[in-house]
Structure 1
Amino acid sequence: MPQPDEAMTRTAYDLVADVYADRFTATEPEQPLDLAMIDHFVGLLPAPRRVLDAGCGAGRMLPYLAARGCRPEGVDLSPEMVRRARADHPGHPCTVGSLTDLAHRDALFDGVFSWYSTIHNPDADLDGMLGEMVRVLRPGGFLLVAFQVGDEVRRVGQGFAASGYDVVLFRHHRRTADMTGRIAALGLEVVATSQRGPIGTEPDPQAVVIARRPTTG
């Protein structure tokens, strides 16, 4: 059963799934540095490059990963987002599930791709979510985590008001050093980080961390 924060997040994204999926169909929000970090992550992956898009939403990143030689599949908390992912990207399997308790077996994936999918969970959930991602990552595989940088918790989602939806979402910002420390504490080796300032209408800095699960230890 979802935690209280997850239940709120699931309700919000179920409500706006179609609006969200129609507004963001591919990599429209990403900047060149963001895409370069994704490409670097893909280039590091061992064969056969089976990747879990952990928090896939409506699946907009699945074709991007597939076009670069990955075998992506998605999981998301929102059944309505998964419905759109299956409809819009039928070539890639997607399931409903919580990142705090993944249904996948241990060491199944060559890569785990967490593209802003930890941002709605509080710090109390974060280590458990990261631990689940590490659990399903095979030794020698790579984890990518993207997030907004900062210390605050902010209410977001007001942009959907123009479409007639009053949704409640909270976004938890993290410092890059905190995220890398949490990942390293789980036994992974951080191999690349990026942090950039806000661009265009973005209000906050953005960061990406890539880490490798060792083959021993």
Structure 2
Amino acid sequence: MSAPDWLTDTKVSYDTVADSYSDITREAFAKTPLLRGVLALFAEAAREVGGPVADIGCGPGLITAHLRGLGLDAFGVDLSPRMVEIARRDHPGVRFDVGSMTDLDLEDGSVGGVLAFYSVIHVPDAEVPRVFAHFHRVLRPGGVVMLGFHVGDRVRLKTEGYGGHPMSLHVHRRPVERVAGWLRDAGFSVEAQVLLGPDEDVPGGMLIARTPTGT
């Protein structure tokens, strides 16, 4: 079965901008201590669960490597083969796989944490429950998921991106409450929510949630 158009558009777009994206995001991440602080919260929670941590939509592997620096056994999965090539080049010895969050090729209960860091922003609303169901499936009892996303209530078509290269994909801005509701519907318990840059045009939403412990 062929991939839906939005998945194909996302893969092609990020293959196109991968090299520029890697350089731009590296510089931006170095200037965002609050973002690193929220990732540290996730790392602490995932460390308590134990086991590997999957960075879904890992791009060039910058955040995956950061999580490993925080003591996690992190690996990355991305839809874009070019992104995975760059991740493997820049972070040798770290596992990076090509894959889709809509059909996540991981065993049930195989990871202690899932990070989806601004990687669900291209997923249509109708597909989000399926993605969150996969996150829930692959997590151990008590496992932790953290989402990062653009806050708002609109969808726009992105036709040009990183480095001025052409792209063709939709970017979703969503209210925190809507994303939290999808997590609860998938069986998660929401434990924390953070709003970064609330006075900016597009704030960043962060949600940390957990699967039932089974006890």
What's the TM-score, normalizing by structure 1? 0.91
Contact 1:56 1:76 (C-alpha < 8 Å) held by counterparts: yes
Which residue pairs with 2:25 in the alignment?
A: 24
Residue 6 (1) aligns with residue 4 (2):
no
- Secondary structure of 2:71's counterpart equals coil
Residue 81 (1) aligns with residue 79 (2):
no
Which residue pairs with 1:168 in the alignment?
A: 168
Contact 2:16 2:166 (C-alpha < 8 Å) held by counterparts: no
Which residue type is aligned with residue 35 of structure 1?
R
Which residue pairs with 1:107 in the alignment?
A: 109
Contact 1:144 1:210 (C-alpha < 8 Å) held by counterparts: yes
Which residue type is aligned with residue 179 of structure 2?
M
Which residue pairs with 1:145 in the alignment?
A: 147
Contact 2:184 2:190 (C-alpha < 8 Å) held by counterparts: yes
- Secondary structure of 2:101's counterpart equals coil
1:66 CA drift (Å) = 0.6
Q: 1:108 to 1:26 in 2, by over 3 A?
A: farther
How many pairs are equivalent? 213
Alpha-carbon distance between aligned partners in 1 of 2:72 and 2:108, rounded to the nearest angstrom: 19
Which residues of structure 1 form unaligned runs of 5+? Answer: none
Contact 1:114 1:144 (C-alpha < 8 Å) held by counterparts: yes
Which residue type is aligned with residue 7 of structure 2?
E
Alpha-carbon distance between aligned partners in 2 of 1:26 and 1:114, rounded to the nearest angstrom: 20
Which residue type is aligned with residue 39 of structure 2?
I
Alpha-carbon distance between aligned partners in 2 of 1:34 and 1:125, rounded to the nearest angstrom: 27
Which residue pairs with 1:63 in the alignment?
A: 65
1:167 CA drift (Å) = 1.6
Which residue type is aligned with residue 114 of structure 1?
A
Residue deviations 1:73-114, cap 9 Å, x none? 010000110111111111210110110001111011000001
In the TM superposition, structure 1's runs of 4+ consecutive aligned residues that sit over 6 Å from their partners are: none
1:28 CA drift (Å) = 2.1
Alpha-carbon distance between aligned partners in 2 of 1:107 and 1:27, rounded to the nearest angstrom: 33
Q: 1:95 to 1:75 in 2, by over 3 A?
A: same
- Secondary structure of 1:168's counterpart equals strand
Q: 1:26 to 1:93 in 2, by over 3 A?
A: farther
- Secondary structure of 1:207's counterpart equals strand
Contact 1:114 1:145 (C-alpha < 8 Å) held by counterparts: yes
Which residue pairs with 2:194 in the alignment?
A: 194
Alpha-carbon distance between aligned partners in 1 of 2:23 and 2:196, rounded to the nearest angstrom: 27
Q: 1:137 to 1:26 in 2, by over 3 A?
A: farther
Alpha-carbon distance between aligned partners in 2 of 1:164 and 1:142, rounded to the nearest angstrom: 36
Alpha-carbon distance between aligned partners in 2 of 1:207 and 1:94, rounded to the nearest angstrom: 26
Q: RMSD across aligned C-alpha pairs, in angstroms?
A: 1.9
1:48 CA drift (Å) = 3.3
Contact 2:110 2:139 (C-alpha < 8 Å) held by counterparts: yes
Contact 1:140 1:213 (C-alpha < 8 Å) held by counterparts: yes
- Give the % identical residues: 38
Which residue pairs with 1:54 in the alignment?
A: 56
Which residues of structure 2 form unaligned runs of 5+? Answer: none
Q: 1:180 to 1:164 in 2, by over 3 A?
A: closer
Between structures 1 and 2, the one with greater helix share: 2
